[in-house]
Amino acid sequence: MNETLRHALINARLQPADVAAHLGVDPKTVHRWLKGRIPYPRHRWAIADLLKVEEPELWPEVAQQQRAINDEVQAVYPHRWAVPRTTWRHLFQSATREIGILAYSGLFLAEDTGIMRLLANKAEAGVRVRILLGDPDAPSVAARGIDEALGPDVMAARVRNAVALYQPLARIENAEIRLHQTVLYNSIYRADTELLVNSHAYGTPAAQAPVIRLRTIEREAAAATYMASFERVWASAKLCEQAS
């Protein structure tokens, strides 16, 4: 029972039928709200306005959920190229247990000698470093190249180039490179509980697509979903023959 909402109706001298008429909903819906069901945002805003109270007073749990979301989503970048280089370095530098890279090529990182040196140093210090790149012979890699208007062979060539550049990491005990054949909806860059997720949009190069910076705060949060996705791809991927 939402006692706060019930008392607010009493103070405003309104009946559930009055609220239903004002919002254009069935009175049974208002009764369900009084019993504890949380209304949709547009209805919460309308009720708070009608009763002249703040929304968090009526539904404090919603405010708590919103704070949790704000704690999890650290930043949103309109494009991958807009993510500062210092952010990439900070992400990987902060890792004490685990670094993971899931992409088709991840070539922009492989070509950054500073980042590669950082990854090598982390692996040598005992941090587990896992690199997941697309299998250059996989249909999904060719399809991604077509989606980005690069052609089916260009993406495969980029992957092979990236594999060659990541190769020195494979000689370090705590680092491993695998090739996957997965259709990726996102590229995932992980350091312990911190993530940079680069969404893939049809017809848009990954560098032009948005990036979300997330922090895992609970098991059922969004970041945990991406981490689970990483693990599923890792489990199905094969060891890179060049790295073996």
The alpha helices in 81-207, defined as continuous H runs, are: 85-93, 107-110, 113-124, 139-147, 152-166
According to the model, what pLDDT value does residue 243 have? Answer: 45
- Condensed to tens digits (0 to 9), the pLDDT of residues 85-123 reads 889 999 999 999 999 999 999 899 999 999 999 999 999
Q: What's the pLDDT at 181?
A: 92
Instruction: Record the pTM.
Output: 0.69
CB 195 within 8 A of CB 213: yes
Instruction: Please check the confidence at residue 189 and state whether its pLDDT lies above 60.
Output: yes
Q: Is 186 left (phi over 0), alpha (psi -120 to 50) or beta?
A: beta
Report the pLDDT value the prediction gives residue 233, as an integer from 0 to 100: 95
> Which position has the higher pLDDT, 219 or 178?
178
CATH superfamily, domain at 71-243: Endonuclease Chain A (3.30.870.10)
Q: Among 71, 70, 39, which residue's Cα sits nearest to residue 55?
A: 39
CATH topology of domain 3-58: 434 Repressor (Amino-terminal Domain) (1.10.260)
pLDDT-based confidence at residue 244 (cuts at 50, 70, 90):
very low
pLDDT at 219 over 70: no
| 61 vs 224, more confident | 224
Q: Is 179 helix (H, G, I), strand (E, B) or coil?
A: strand
Angle at 160 between CA 202 and CA 150, to 5 degrees: 30
Q: How confident is the model at residue 67 (pLDDT cuts 50, 70, 90)?
A: low
Estimate the crossing angle of helix 16-23 against helix 41-51, to 10 degrees.
120
What pLDDT was estimated at residue 110? 94
Return d(Cα 191, Cα 198) in angstroms, integer: 15
pLDDT at 242: 56
Can you give the residue ranges of every domain in the chain? Answer: 3-58, 71-243
- Has residue 68 got a pLDDT over 60? no
Give the model's pLDDT for residue 145: 82
DSSP state of 201: B
The pLDDT value recorded for residue 143 is 84
